[in-house]
Amino acid sequence: MFWTVTLSLLAGMGQLLKLFFLTLLFSLPLGLLIAFALRSRCRPVSWFFNIIVWIIRGTPLMLQLIIIFYGPGKWFDNNIWGLFADGRMAACVVAFVLNYACYFAVIYKGGIEGVPAGQSEAGQVLGMTKGQIFFRVTLLQMIKRIVPPMSNEIITLVKDTSLARVIAVTELIKAGESYMKSAGIVWPLFYTAVFYLAFVGVLTIFFNYMERKLSYFR
């Protein structure tokens, strides 16, 4: 029994990891673009993205997930998710990417604004281009500032992947819970916690390492 449970939890963990890494892959850069849009000097652009961020952060991810998965089929009579080999996972990735990009954008924005204006001015008077100032001067200082809030957000993402079950993706918890119904046993649920703890433990070690790596300057 233990092996059967372990194998199905590993499959659930696989779904978790897939959603986790795909979300990060797209939302980390998308968040940066949204952060720039939030800071845009063009008022309509910054307004538009402020409203988007308000809506995304102001409604539950579970609701967004349901709307994104069922919406296209219901309203446009066109289930775009059918085009994917794993449409449910694809819908999850889209919902998670949008949601997390907005949270990341706000963290990035704070990070960028936390770097003193004197830094970019110093770059300007030395004749650097805007791109050089961002990538060679501001970026690393911003990353140093955002490691703690980003680590919070990314650890939350690990556990948020469990929401995927609302559109019937067999992620870790759903995999564990199924044994409650089928075999009347509860311990697989506790076993799922071990998986979460192990993965979050690895992430914690990684973020601590990042913080140490970046502690060579102030």
Residue 213 sits in the site that holds other proteins (CB under 8 A):
no
Residue 147 sits in the site that holds other proteins (CB under 8 A):
no
Distance of closest approach, residue 212 Cβ to other proteins, in angstroms: 15
Residue 217 sits in the site that holds other proteins (CB under 8 A):
yes
Residue 118 sits in the site that holds other proteins (CB under 8 A):
yes
Residue 116 sits in the site that holds other proteins (CB under 8 A):
yes
User: Residues 167, 66: contact at Cβ < 8 Å?
Assistant: yes
Question: Cα separation of 119 and 139, whole Å?
Answer: 11
Distance of closest approach, residue 150 Cβ to other proteins, in angstroms: 18
User: Residues 214, 143: contact at Cβ < 8 Å?
Assistant: yes
Distance of closest approach, residue 7 Cβ to other proteins, in angstroms: 47
Stretch that binds other proteins, among 35-43, 113-121, 161-169, 191-199 (CB under 8 A): 113-121
Distance of closest approach, residue 109 Cβ to other proteins, in angstroms: 21
Residue 183 sits in the site that holds other proteins (CB under 8 A):
no
Residue 121 sits in the site that holds other proteins (CB under 8 A):
yes
Residues that bind other proteins (CB under 8 A): 116, 118-119, 121-129, 132, 136-137, 140-141, 144, 216-218
